[in-house]
Chains A and B, each alone.
Chain A
Amino acid sequence: MAPLDKRLGRNLAWLREQFDGSADFFIKEVCLCGVDCAVMLCDDLAGVDLAWELLLRPLQYEQRQFSGGGELAGYLVSASGVPFSAAPIESREDLFYNLCAGNGVFLADGDDKAYSFAAQNFAQRSPGEPDSEVNIYGSKEAFCDVLRRNMGLIRRRVRSEGLVIRTMRVGRYTDTEITVVYHRELVDPRLLEGVMARLEKIRLQMVFDSGYLAPFLEKNPYSLFSCAGLTERPDTLCAKVCEGKIAILADGTPYAVLVPFFFTENFQSMDDYCSRPYYASFIRALKYAAFLIAVLFPGIFVSVANFTPELLPGQLLYKVAASEAATPLPLFMEAIFVNLILEIVKEAGLRLPKAIGHSVSLVAALIVGDAAIQFGMLGSPVVIVASLSAICGFAVPSLYQPITILRMLFILAGGLLGPLGIVLTLLAAIFNICSINSFGLPYTAPLTPYGCGALRDGILRASWKKMQGARFTVDDLPGAKRGKRHEG
């Protein structure tokens, strides 16, 4: 880190060289109180009028004269009303960083320190409603792209002492600011140490999203299930932090990463805690059933139809057989084809501009759904099974990726090997998911190893009266290992 020069001219020359004629770099050289000074900012990140209001206007009528930059700076920092930041800038890199962060920077000739003041005035999205975690009850706020504002949303919700928001920078070329949020009294110090160690080892070229950091917080990034969760809701993040978890936010994205993350959390939503416990429990159990249907139903259907059709009730058996006789493809290929088409339709609907996006569903329903069946290219049972499976997958959106892959695997396994394929694939998937540890904590807790948490806030949800008063953190989960938070 190169220190700042006491000569104003040298510092300005260095900055001009770094910005290399960039049109958004603004320097205003002035003489204040007898000292040559300069105010710098990046246009459109920071507001020139703000710099005028905060710094230059109060000082233009100052009568006192100072002999050097250090004296002037000392007066401005300690005796004036100028809102400089508490810590001065001592290195050129930090100076550059502050300018890119939207701060204004003040330099005085004769002082080897610079002082920044908040003058951000860039265009930003206000905290709107969450897109991916929609709830009926509860807060309608979501994080926005600006990290500092997100910090405010968190601090506003967790007002007790103990909430810590630490910042660091990652990304060789983007120098993206990230924050690590945790509650000092609730977090396991070993967990915090493990997370910080991993974050410090990141050597990415660029970071534009918190999702870039997630693989570094997992032991096995190739696993189908991720043990780093994502959320764009401040209330969800604060709830997790109050359970002893750690959240990582990055500037430029509304999504925060939560560690450790458990399988059961994919089936939880904030609405569960605002609804009656019996209803919340019912909905959660329904989501588990939806997940199983989404993953297993097409594969089991193909396996049953081809290998063990005695499972089908009589009338259904003949309908399925008639449908199979009427179509050119075998059932197994039909199932693969329909599921692939559904994924293509879904992806197309996601990427198309909104103006024409809704026509995708029309095209898909009419052509794929209706015309293909009428024409005899596809059979109704397969389309029904695939549609039901897709709808069930939408009930658990955070697991959509593993559901899609697993569904295809099960169709392949069921079509090729029948019940044997289903059993082997199911066992392999269960072994995979049960072997995942998230910073020493079992990913499948409290389902297995079983703990009463499964009934408290896992599959079911106990009433708030029962849950009140008991402090629960992730360390209370069954199977939590002692002293092994580093390995994951």
Chain B
Amino acid sequence: MKDDAISRGQLLVCIYLTMTAEMLIRPYREPIQFPAQVLIPAAGMNLLVIGLALRLGRRAGTIGCAQRAQSGVGRLAMLFCTAVLALSGGAALQDADGFLGFTGGRQFSFFLFLALALLLVFYAVRLGAEGFARVGGVVLTLMLLSLGLVILSNLRDLRLQNLQILPQSHEKVVQALGIGFYASPALLAGVVLTEKTDRPAQMRWGKLLGGIFATYFVLTVVGEMTLGSFASVQRQPVYTLARIGGISVFRRLDSLHSSVWLMALLLGVVVQAAAAELLLRGALPAKWKKYTVLLTALLFGGAALFVHQETEAALWRWLTVGTAVGMLLLCAGRKGGEKRQ
């Protein structure tokens, strides 16, 4: 792997794209049947909790993997986080395959898709962080264009009266938060990859979470204003929006949008794979270091096959728990590394 550095902005863009893709592509998640009036505050509270956690653990990203590996707790933290990222990457690949089945009339074998996707992902990992950080800029442009087009093509179908108004929604907000609380492992990858940035101690997580919230807000409101109560029974309401919108003679642009979202999802897998590879490289003994890319590929492939066989509706809960535990261990590992110094 090259010794490369990326900017904080580039890393935040990559994490933003990963989390946005998770928002858009969710073929196996059950819909949370609440209106926007409940979902948006719940999402805000979710991100607030994550923001506080990131703030408390902000120093976790300032210590490099090499330093962290000097302590036993640090190595344990690194291996655990690698497993969480592998599981998350596998779930993302499973989601991508499921999404392709939605968007296209015919679906390829999961194994073929997995082989091709892993080939791409690990080619990208080998190219280094600079590569995927720059790709993030391109994919961000495409994503913003896609989302803008989705909103634009549905403008004339927006109806204010489609927004549901519930009395006394505070309890429902707490209920929605409990049902849907999620901490994306992409944040874990972001914390790990912070060491590649120029100023790791000054990561602006608030900007990232603000951007995610703004995106969620706009998409949820537009979704409900267009689809009404239909939105709450959709697994992928934004994809439904993409299917109904059209411009001029081009009425069915959903396959264009889905291609862009798929690119963002695969970029997210690349980011998580890069973070996992970095952790593995730090945790393993020196003689294994030249095999880390291959090992990470095998881990991700194995995780994808596991998720494919044992599709667990609550997998995302396990990932949330894993992310939280991983963050804690990284902080603990950081303290251990500093004491040894």
Contacts and interface: CB of A to CB of B under 8 A. Distances in A.
Direct contact of A and B (CB under 8 A): yes
Interface of A: 304, 307-308, 310-311, 313, 417-420, 422-424, 426-428, 430-432, 434-435, 437, 442, 444, 447-450, 479, 481
Given A311-B255, A313-B249, 7 more contacts: A423-B263, A426-B263, A434-B134, A435-B134, A448-B138, A479-B7, A479-B130
A420 B108 contact: yes
A313 B134 contact: no
B105 A311 contact: no
B21 to A, nearest CB: 12
Nearest to B107: A420
25 contacts: A311-B252, A311-B253, A313-B251, A419-B262, A423-B262, A424-B116, A424-B117, A427-B120, A427-B135, A427-B267, A428-B120, A431-B127, A431-B131, A431-B135, A434-B132, A434-B138, A435-B128, A435-B134, A448-B134, A448-B135, A448-B136, A448-B137, A449-B137, A479-B7, A481-B5
A442 B4 CA distance: 12
Contacts of B136: 448
Contacts of A419: 100, 103-104, 255, 258-259, 262
Contact of A449 (B7, B104, B128, B266): B7
Contacts of B137: 447-450
A425 to B, nearest CB: 9
Nearest to A308: B255
Nearest to B252: A310
Contacts of B131: 431, 434-435
Interface in B124-165: 124, 127-128, 130-139
B2 to A, nearest CB: 8
A434 B135 contact: yes
Contacts of A448: 134-138
Interface residues of B, number: 40
A419 B130 CA distance: 27
B105 A427 contact: no
Nearest to A487: B2
B113 interface: yes
A454 to B, nearest CB: 10
A420 B258 contact: no
Contacts of A432: 127
Contacts of A304: 255
Contacts of B133: 449
Interface string B1-13: 0000101001000
Interface in B256-298: 256, 258-259, 262-263, 266-267
A307 B104 contact: yes
Nearest to A436: B131
Contacts of A422: 259
Q: For the complex of A and B, list the 7 residue pairs with the smallest distance between their C-beta atoms, beginning with the closest.
A: A435-B131, A448-B137, A434-B134, A435-B127, A308-B255, A448-B134, A310-B252
B123 interface: yes
A444 B135 CA distance: 10
A428 B262 CA distance: 13
A431 B252 CA distance: 29
A452 to B, nearest CB: 14
Nearest to A421: B116
B123 A431 contact: yes
A417 B117 CA distance: 12
Contacts of A437: 130
Contacts of B7: 449, 479
Contacts of B124: 427, 431
B310 to A, nearest CB: 24
B10 A449 contact: yes
Nearest to A309: B105
Contacts of A423: 259, 262-263, 266
B132 to A, nearest CB: 7
A467 B285 CA distance: 54
A447 B138 CA distance: 8
A304 B134 CA distance: 28
Greatest chain B CB density within 10 A among A418, A432, A435, A444 is at A435
A400 to B, nearest CB: 22
Contact of A417 (B5, B108, B252, B259): B108
Contacts of B256: 311
A475 to B, nearest CB: 16
Nearest to B132: A431
Contacts of A310: 252, 255
B127 A442 contact: no
Nearest to A443: B134
B339 interface: no
A399 B124 CA distance: 23
B12 to A, nearest CB: 13
B113 to A, nearest CB: 7
Contacts of A450: 137
B217 to A, nearest CB: 25
B106 interface: yes
B104 to A, nearest CB: 6
Nearest to A450: B137
A434 B113 CA distance: 24
A95 B259 CA distance: 66
